[in-house]
Amino acid sequence: MVTANALNEESLRRLPKVALHDHLDGSLRVRTVVELAAEVGYAGLPTTNIEELTEWFHQDKPTNSLETYLQAFGHTIAVLQEPDALRRAIFESVEDLKNDGVVYGEVRFAPELLVRGAMDLVKVFDVAQAAFADASAEFGITVNMIVCALRNHDNSLLVAQEVVKRKGGNIVGFDLAGPERGWPASLHREALALLRDARVPYTLHAGEGDGVSSIEDAIACGASRIGHGVRIADDISVDGVMYTLGPRAEAVRATGILLEVCPTSNLNTQMYPDLSSHPVDILFRAGFAVSINTDNRLMSRTSITAEWSRLAETFGWGSNEFLATTVAGLRAAFCDEVERDRLLAEVVVPGFRG
């Protein structure tokens, strides 16, 4: 087992990781955005200077909210409207995950946002599935797809139908993304029922841009995991190291449902003033199933290694906590049971003990 004293950034990078909440259009390389913009003739970037654009994309401004944070995606989505651009972004995303020590990943994006150029919805699915398969083979890790529909759009049933048609490949799940407040998951009951009947698992964003009720709504809708979910801490009282759970928090913990926690992203959207105020440590200590994720590597200028490093510095997390959250993530992953068991026995546990 890696000792606490050995937890520098490089040792953290070498540890095996599982990435479950990672948006493709939030994880492009800045240079790639500039180069693709030139290739497709997109003139809307605020600057083409790499350093300036890197700073512009970094969403750590005190005036941010979830809504303003989402505006940055307009530029990344604009440069992903052609097949070659989408394929390049997928290859680079998988390579970056590999270089961060990720041994299994699920990358999500919304195909309906990429149909303004040469691709229709079916073509986006075709290109993405082939690219993720090829990139996984090239870089030696399995990275599957979670397909998103937008909760503030009315295309969820169409997207869900395409997902069901492709069940059994590297599309392993579904998600509802986009603004939460005013757009509960229950607005998309028909799409979710179709997926549930077809036994396609889904994770739903909740407890990020809206409160505890959004988490309850997502669970009632049959979510297998919760994207973010940290607002469940609003129903927890803390007295030193004693945690008193309210009835709603107790109900969520009792389900064992995984919370895909993205600490730095939550700071960037001004949910919490600093990491020491973030409830990730409380949720973990109180017995919730927690995994650590990046959300948007570009906008939050982060990686799982960076998230772990910040947690180690702020809360004193060490290899025990990182192993526990990695195992929790892997057990909730949407890959098949054989792959989960193999990764756990042959890769994750030996990687931490080595």
- Indicate which residues carry an active-site annotation: 208
Of 16, 349, 164, nearest in space to 341 by CA: 349
Give me the residue label for tokens 């440590």. 281
Phi and psi angles of residue 123, each rounded to the nearest 5 degrees, phi first: -65, -40
Dist CA 192 CA 352 (whole Å): 37
Rounded Cα–Cα distance for residues 83 and 110 (Å):
15
